[in-house]
Each structure stands twice: as C-alpha cells, then as structure tokens.
Amino acid sequence: MRFMINDAEWDIRLVNEAEMNNEMKNDYTLGVTIYKTQEVLLLKHQANIIKTLKHELTHVWLYEYGHAQNDDSSYKYEDVCEIVASSNNFVNEVVEKFKKEMEK
C-alpha cells in the first residue's frame, strides 16, 4: 500500500519472517521503517499488526517532519504530547486506508 506524507511517497509492505529476519538480522522484529527506500515493512501473520503499523508510522512522521531519531536524544513531556497530537490524524488516516486494503 502506498501513502503520502509531507510530499514524500512511502510504501507499506507485508513480509514473511525470512525477509524481515534478513532486513533486521534477528527473529523478533514485527515491523521496521526503512528511511532510505521509504518503506514500512510489517511481519505478516502477527497478532498486533495495527499496533505495529501505528508504531512504524510514528517513526515515519518523526522522520518526515525533521525530528532527529538517530542520536537517542530524549524528548521532554511536552514534546511527546505535541508529537502525539500532531501525528494523530496522519497515523489514523493511514491505518484506516491499510485496514480497507486488508479487507480486499
């Protein structure tokens, strides 16, 4: 499934365990955001796919709106509230589109 954010096009792909393990080099990752290729990979057949999607979409939103994620910097309480409030509509819109795609 393809979606847009901040004039950038991203893809969500459902992958099997072998592909996820190859990407992440472990066998416990349920989802991953790949910035270089603008993809979100979700492990097929997991119990919490929507929760995992929401988590990965938050990474996408942070990346696309310039919030550094690669230095493990800490966010203050007010920063977290602003991020959640600002990203909520984006995350929910993509999740609803994803659910409709899954129903097909």
Sheet holding 39-43, edge to edge: 2-5, 8-15, 39-43, 31-34
Q: Where are the beta strands (DSSP E) in the chain?
A: 2-5, 8-15, 31-34, 39-43
What is the tens place of the pLDDT at every residue in 23-46? Answer: 888 778 999 999 999 999 999 999
Of residues 36, 5, 10, 7, the one with CA closest to residue 23: 36
pTM of the model: 0.90
Residue with tokens 């991203």: 10
> Residue 81 has what pLDDT?
94
The residues that bridge with 104 in the sheet, in sequence order, are none
Q: Can you give the residue ranges of every domain in the chain?
A: 2-103
